Structure 1
Amino acid sequence: MSKDSERDPLIVWENGVKNETAILRVQRPVYQTEELNELTTYEYPSTNISGVFKKNYCLFRPKECFYNTVPILKWLPGYEFKKNFMGDVFSGITVATMHIPHGLAYGILGNLPPIVGIYMGFFPVLIYTIFGTSRHVSIGTFAIVCLMTGKTVLEYSSDEGTAVNYTPIQVATTVTFTVSVIQMIMYLFRLGIITTLLSETLVNALTCASAFHVVTTQFKDLLGLTLPRRNGLFRILYTFYDVGNLISEANVPTVVISLIFVTVIALNNEILKPILARRTKIPFPIELVAIVTGTTISYCMDIHKNYAVNIIGTVPTGLPNPDLPSFSLIPSVLLDSFIIAMVSYTVTMSLALIVAQKQHYEVNSNQELFALSCSNCFGSFFSCMPVTASLSRTMIQQGVGGATQIASTVSCSILLLVLLWIGPLFENLPRCVLASVIVVSLKSMILQFLSLKKYWTLSKWDGTVWIITFFTTIIVDIDYGLLSGVIVSLVSIFVQDQKCYTCVLGVVPNTDLYLDMELYKGAQELPGIKIFHYSGPLNFASRSVFKKNLFKKTGFDPLSLYVKTKLFTKDEVYCRCVILDFTALTYVDPSGVQILKSLDGDYRHVGVDMYICGCSSPVFEKLKKCQMYYGKNGNFTIFPTVHDAVLYSQSVANTTT
């Protein structure tokens, strides 16, 4: 059957003047989808398991697999030495000056010796340079991950004399190894998509609330207090209670030093840093200056002995001896490790995508899982906590001029000097100075609280996810905050899926355009034809909503008419055809196909044809695959467009009359 389409005005611009005299003419047959597929040689996707594996897993292509798994072999041979080397060197030096204070501070945050933070900026980074696909992310310590690891260290490490004999280092390295195993499993099964459950809203609330947890953990060092060890739920509330009880015992010199360093670092970040940013890309290393200054003052005045100010103590030289994690502890730390693995990968991948978009290159999300897994596995043998990309260091590494991971190699070289020779110079560093560095660095995370207004304005569901995640994390614990956020996110998705957009379409006169009649008053309903548009998934959860909306919008329930043993009365709208517009149908499952099959039969009983149109290829394939199992009353009549279905219905009506 052929048709000469309605004449549609085509607006043409000639010499800047609108010309509406041109006419668009289209002449082609009316197609059903199967006819169009045959004409255009449509190739159905292979359902052969080996074919799917060969397509999705490069293990069947050894050379490609090898180069994809070791990305450094791709970019290093083509490294532009003259163009990028100096930028990478300056970037590496700058990032190294940030690694030192961050490492010492966040090592303590994990309830481990400060030197552990320096280890984290050296061993895992070397591995990430080989396997990572991001050219700019700075792998190493990250406050939230160190805090989460520190919580597990407190829970499972023991004081001398207890029955359980796991040291803090053993617990930390076991967590790191378990995280690497989880990330490797996610890599092998292409499960990076799991982290999409951690939406931007959820991560924003979680990191904001976690920043408050980090601040509370620093009270003891900022005030020079000895607080009781708190494990389990409501730790932040207990910490405030303990601080309130012991505030009178605060060490005055420690409080004074904390106030001075917090004020100086904050003033630098708020006033001096923006001024320097307009003149140079290299930031003033205020954290390193603070550590050097604090160490010098402590050494000259011997404030630990004279004023009872706590210092970090012994800092070992040399590289740590490799040691195996405590494998017997893995079942106990498995849940905590899974949460850390999720947060670690989500943060790293988010930063990698942000920088890659700025610099116009691609990062491989699955390869990033492999790189993090290998980095954590290697680090677990050298006293490291789980590593993550740092926002501040990543932005500096990219902003100063770093072009590749050579910058990370330069940074590692400088940290190696610290590990071999310079480390002991920091033995007199007051712990309150490190606490000041941590607290000031968390300002941006704490101010994320202000983003609640944005999320609430844009979406009440996003605002609800943010509020529940934030307050559960603050009041109960980080693990429960993450869990509650994921649950509320899933509930919001389910509820919104039940509120799919539906409407009845009408035709714009003299066109093949079909629009929502409630919104477009110029659209007209075709006599005897109801066109129902559905947007969203059609599955076991939404099928009842789909059916309810279909009957409501089209104005009649075929089954109730059939039960009344009549077709239509004079008061009811005559309808000979119902067209289901599935151009916006995102997914259909067997339950959805079954309800369509049932509807088709109900419509046939009352003399109404049901046509389907606009299916995407996956939806069309699912319909064809499932319909053979549901009834034997014929197949669905499927068209590629609404207009094809309308013309076919009109031709059938003309033929019968």
Structure 2
Amino acid sequence: MHLKKHFAILQWLPNYKRSNLLGDTSAGLIVAIMLVPQGMAYAMLAGLNPIHGLYAVTLPLLVYAILGSSRQLAVGPGAMISLLVGAGISSLSPENYSAYFYYTITLAFMVGIIQFLMGLFRLGFVVNFLSQPVIKGFTSAAALIIGFGQLKHLLKLNFPSSNHIQNIFIGLASTIGQTHLLTMCIGLAGILIIKFAKKIHPAIPGSLVAVILGIVLVRFLGLTDEGVMVLGEVPKGLPGLSLPTFELTTLTNLFPIAITISLVGFAESFSIAKTINARHKNYLINANQELIALGMANISSSMVRGFPVTGGLSRSAVNDQSGAKTPLASIISAGIIVMTLVFFTSYFFYLPYAILAAVIIAAVSGIVDWKSPIELWHKDRKDFYMFTATFLVTLTMGIVLGILSGMILSLMLVIYKASRPHMAQLGRVPGTNNFRNIQRFNDLEINQDLIIVRIDGPIYFANVDFINEKINQWRAERSNAIKMIFLNMESVTSLDSTGALTLQTWIKDWRNNDIDLYIIGAKGPVRDVLVKWQLIETIGEDHIFLDTHTALTYYEKNMDAKSLQKMGPYALQSNFKNKKHRP
């Protein structure tokens, strides 16, 4: 059972149904056809020779098929990860292509180790610190950088690559007059073929059609003589074994990039796997197992001269739609790629760079999210600002800084929200035993001698000052002196040592000012903390209640009869005009 938990292949292979074979074979073939042009294009995007894109979809596919908990996720190079690889390694200014290559396989190895260790120590939850607005802002900006950056190949222009949009625009503006019209026509035709193929049917391999037509046109019309740039000689055969460098300086320089790719790659893969899993009820996705599987896939990629890999949305969707029921489809895809490497690489000699650029542009054109910022502006301004900040930083300061700033913003937002829990001052709904927020309901009964405070969230070191300030603010707003505070803790999930010690201080200060305290609805774990810190004795067992109605009844019975008769127990609360009836 322990082996089955970590080796997913032991779960699905022994129970494999022959009825799934046709769908798996069909999907494996179609995805392999997609992976050939995609892999080569994304390798180029990562700054490598295109052949490394094919190397990256051999052993990694097999490894993920053995370990991965998703049965339809298609692992391989991705546009986002490839761009992160290219941008990150370029920023280190490697001396030559050989150094660049060793940085790349070392980066893949580091990404694999980081993901594997995260899975081993069950840290899959860390990806939750990348909020959706941050991911969408980052991916939208990165997609624009990718798309505009590929115009140099689409138009056959000569300007330095960059992951800063302003530098790309400067390069385009200074060289646009040198556009090679024939190359541009080939590239635009490639984009149209890929886009229209998807509209006809998602299973049609538009990228492969564009690749084949591009090769045929260039080869038989002699377009290389007209200046069209082609791949040229593509190495034949299986990749040799490669090992990363363990030089401390290199590892230190690559570490921030490796962390970024590890988190982004996992977030992308896991979200895709969960989306596809929603349509299949015969297996479960395990975040930590996915980290282990992706980690091992990346380690294996570094061993076969590949680069970092992740789950891809388009090929995973096609894999699912083409009938894939098990990871056997990925094993078949890997086998076809191996056959391509052994027998068919010579056919890619006349593949135009413009077609590979077209494949990349078509892939990233759907990533830019134009709708989310508009929706967020109307529904959640905080998330809109998060989206915009991440988008602008990524666009102007680079992809690595963009995702790191997004992660920091996400973490700051979590801390901000945690330090400011929702609090409500309660009043009784007339004629009932129900209590509601006085800022959301009109005409609630308010006892002018006391404040009923509900805290929605934990009480701990980060928010005790905010809670105290809020209670003091409400005390100051009352026209007469408060005699009692009801602390409704029904929604308090935990109480740490700082919270317990601070509560002791509050009780002392309040009682010195002739204000007593009732604790209401404390949950078991919170009561345990109250007991450990002797707060039950400090507060008094007769001041602990299960619900607000019981506490209020007890309080009223013990009020001074003359004071009660003089001022009346209740006044109708009518200062608030918001009539939204939400608790």
2:104 to 168, 172, 180: 172
5+ residue gaps, structure 1: 1-63, 558-570
The residue type paired with residue 327 of structure 1 is: F
Please state if 1:599 is matched with 2:506.
Answer: yes
Alignment partner, residue 290 of structure 2: 368
* C-alpha displacement of 1:313: 1.8
Tell me the distance in 2 between the aligned counterparts of 1:152 and 1:286: 30
* Secondary structure in 2 matching 1:327: coil
1:341 to 262, 287, 312: 262
Sort the Cα spacing of 1:506 and 1:153 in 2 relative to 1 into closer, same or farther, 3 A: closer
The one-character-per-residue Cα deviations of 1:5-44 (angstroms, maximum 9, x if unpaired) are xxxxxxxxxxxxxxxxxxxxxxxxxxxxxxxxxxxxxxxx
Alignment partner, residue 295 of structure 1: 215
Alignment partner, residue 88 of structure 1: 24
The one-character-per-residue Cα deviations of 1:210-245 (angstroms, maximum 9, x if unpaired) are 111112321221111232365xxx733223212222
CA contact (8 A) 1:157 1:166 kept: no
* C-alpha displacement of 1:498: 5.0
The one-character-per-residue Cα deviations of 1:404-462 (angstroms, maximum 9, x if unpaired) are 2121112112212111111221111011111011112212112x133210122221010
Identity, in percent, stands at 28
Tell me the distance in 2 between the aligned counterparts of 1:650 and 1:441: 69
Tell me the distance in 2 between the aligned counterparts of 1:155 and 1:533: 52
Please state if 1:431 is matched with 2:363.
Answer: no
Greater RCO (CA < 8 Å, at least 6 residues apart): 2
Tell me the distance in 2 between the aligned counterparts of 1:289 and 1:119: 22
Please state if 1:385 is matched with 2:322.
Answer: no
* C-alpha displacement of 1:85: 2.1
Alignment partner, residue 547 of structure 2: 641
Alignment partner, residue 452 of structure 2: 531
1:585 to 467, 482, 492: 492
1:142 to 78, 82, 95: 78
CA contact (8 A) 2:482 2:515 kept: no
> TM-score under structure 1 normalisation?
0.79
* Secondary structure in 2 matching 1:524: strand
* Secondary structure in 2 matching 1:578: strand
* Secondary structure in 2 matching 1:505: strand
User: Which piece of structure 1 moves more, 524-533 or 66-75?
Assistant: 524-533
CA contact (8 A) 1:235 1:476 kept: yes
The residue type paired with residue 131 of structure 2 is: S
* Secondary structure in 2 matching 1:151: helix
1:71 to 5, 8, 19: 8
2:413 to 492, 511, 515: 492
Sort the Cα spacing of 1:154 and 1:493 in 2 relative to 1 into closer, same or farther, 3 A: closer
* C-alpha displacement of 1:111: 1.0
Tell me the distance in 1 between the aligned counterparts of 2:551 and 2:117: 48
User: Which piece of structure 1 moves more, 481-490 or 615-624?
Assistant: 615-624
Alignment partner, residue 206 of structure 2: 286
Tell me the distance in 2 between the aligned counterparts of 1:100 and 1:229: 24
Sort the Cα spacing of 1:638 and 1:416 in 2 relative to 1 into closer, same or farther, 3 A: farther
Please state if 1:615 is matched with 2:522.
Answer: yes
Tell me the distance in 1 between the aligned counterparts of 2:296 and 2:419: 42
The one-character-per-residue Cα deviations of 1:151-185 (angstroms, maximum 9, x if unpaired) are 2343446455xxxx843321111000011111122
* C-alpha displacement of 1:551: 2.7
User: Which piece of structure 1 moves more, 541-550 or 128-137?
Assistant: 541-550
The one-character-per-residue Cα deviations of 1:489-519 (angstroms, maximum 9, x if unpaired) are 3333344445543232223345432222343
The residue type paired with residue 79 of structure 1 is: Y
The aligned runs of 1:268-287 (5 Å cut-off) are 268-269=197-198, 273=199, 276-277=200-201, 283-287=203-207
Alignment partner, residue 185 of structure 2: 256
Sort the Cα spacing of 1:644 and 1:118 in 2 relative to 1 into closer, same or farther, 3 A: farther
* Secondary structure in 1 matching 2:278: helix
The one-character-per-residue Cα deviations of 1:609-653 (angstroms, maximum 9, x if unpaired) are 31222234443334444x25x898466754343334334545666
Tell me the distance in 2 between the aligned counterparts of 1:443 and 1:505: 51
Alignment partner, residue 143 of structure 2: 211
* Secondary structure in 2 matching 1:247: helix
The aligned runs of 1:30-179 (5 Å cut-off) are 64-82=1-19, 84-156=20-92, 158=94, 166-179=98-111
Sort the Cα spacing of 1:634 and 1:641 in 2 relative to 1 into closer, same or farther, 3 A: closer
1:353 to 259, 274, 278: 274
> TM-score under structure 2 normalisation?
0.89
Sort the Cα spacing of 1:599 and 1:69 in 2 relative to 1 into closer, same or farther, 3 A: same
* Secondary structure in 1 matching 2:114: helix
* Secondary structure in 1 matching 2:373: helix
* C-alpha displacement of 1:526: 4.8
5+ residue gaps, structure 2: 565-583
Alignment partner, residue 571 of structure 2: none
* C-alpha displacement of 1:92: 1.5
* Secondary structure in 2 matching 1:583: coil
For these two proteins, the number of residue pairs brought into alignment is: 559
* Secondary structure in 1 matching 2:457: strand
The residue type paired with residue 108 of structure 1 is: M
Please state if 1:313 is matched with 2:242.
Answer: no
Tell me the distance in 2 between the aligned counterparts of 1:118 and 1:395: 20
User: Which piece of structure 1 moves more, 137-146 or 292-301?
Assistant: 292-301
* Secondary structure in 1 matching 2:367: helix
Tell me the distance in 2 between the aligned counterparts of 1:294 and 1:166: 30
* C-alpha displacement of 1:471: 0.8
CA contact (8 A) 2:74 2:311 kept: yes
The aligned runs of 1:159-238 (5 Å cut-off) are 166-228=98-160, 235-238=164-167
* Secondary structure in 1 matching 2:204: coil
* Secondary structure in 2 matching 1:579: strand
The residue type paired with residue 482 of structure 1 is: I
Tell me the distance in 1 between the aligned counterparts of 2:522 and 2:420: 20
CA contact (8 A) 1:158 1:167 kept: yes
Alignment partner, residue 543 of structure 1: 464
CA contact (8 A) 1:205 1:449 kept: no
* Secondary structure in 2 matching 1:167: helix
The residue type paired with residue 93 of structure 1 is: L
* Secondary structure in 2 matching 1:611: strand
The one-character-per-residue Cα deviations of 1:117-173 (angstroms, maximum 9, x if unpaired) are 12222211100111111111111111010111112343446455xxxx843321111
Tell me the distance in 2 between the aligned counterparts of 1:312 and 1:321: 21
Sort the Cα spacing of 1:422 and 1:616 in 2 relative to 1 into closer, same or farther, 3 A: farther
Sort the Cα spacing of 1:528 and 1:237 in 2 relative to 1 into closer, same or farther, 3 A: closer
The residue type paired with residue 85 of structure 1 is: L
* C-alpha displacement of 1:522: 4.8
The one-character-per-residue Cα deviations of 1:62-102 (angstroms, maximum 9, x if unpaired) are xx4322111221222222222x2222222212211211111
Tell me the distance in 1 between the aligned counterparts of 2:3 and 2:275: 27
* Secondary structure in 2 matching 1:146: helix
Structure with higher Rg: it is 1
CA RMSD of aligned residues (A): 2.7
Tell me the distance in 2 between the aligned counterparts of 1:496 and 1:132: 35
User: Which piece of structure 1 moves more, 603-612 or 520-529?
Assistant: 520-529
Superposition misfits of 4+ residues, deviation over 6 angstroms: none
